[in-house]
Structure 1
Amino acid sequence: MSKDTFDAEAFMEATAAAMNLTIAPEWKPNVLDNLIRSRQIALAVLDFPLPDTIEPASVFKP
């Protein structure tokens, strides 16, 4: 899926169907907003350049 072609409503409907989940009509606008924002955050993370030599940390220490 390219960055320019994301149908949040179709994704919501397909995902809900796959999970056998019913989303009440009054909640659909909120779910769509959340999907769109989550995608924007994910794209920002994925666009962050990392060198090919970097490796994941073996243990997470906050």
Structure 2
Amino acid sequence: MTFFRLALAAMLMSALPAHGADRTIYLTFDDGPLNGTSNILDVLEAAQVPATLFMVGMHAEASAS
């Protein structure tokens, strides 16, 4: 299996509608939330990309406050 690193902003730009076509992209970030989570949210907000975040139980409990 091969993985490629790609800047989030570049990936979002490739998913923006081109010529009126709807495009969808699904991203997963494993082992998070990480220190860069707020940066990821900033990029998504700037690009007006809706996001749904899911947290595993132990992270949700740690962030309950």
Scaled by the length of structure 2, the TM-score of the pair is 0.27
Larger radius of gyration: 1
Q: Which has the higher contact order (CA 8 A, sep 6+)?
A: 1
Higher normalized helix content (fraction of residues): 1
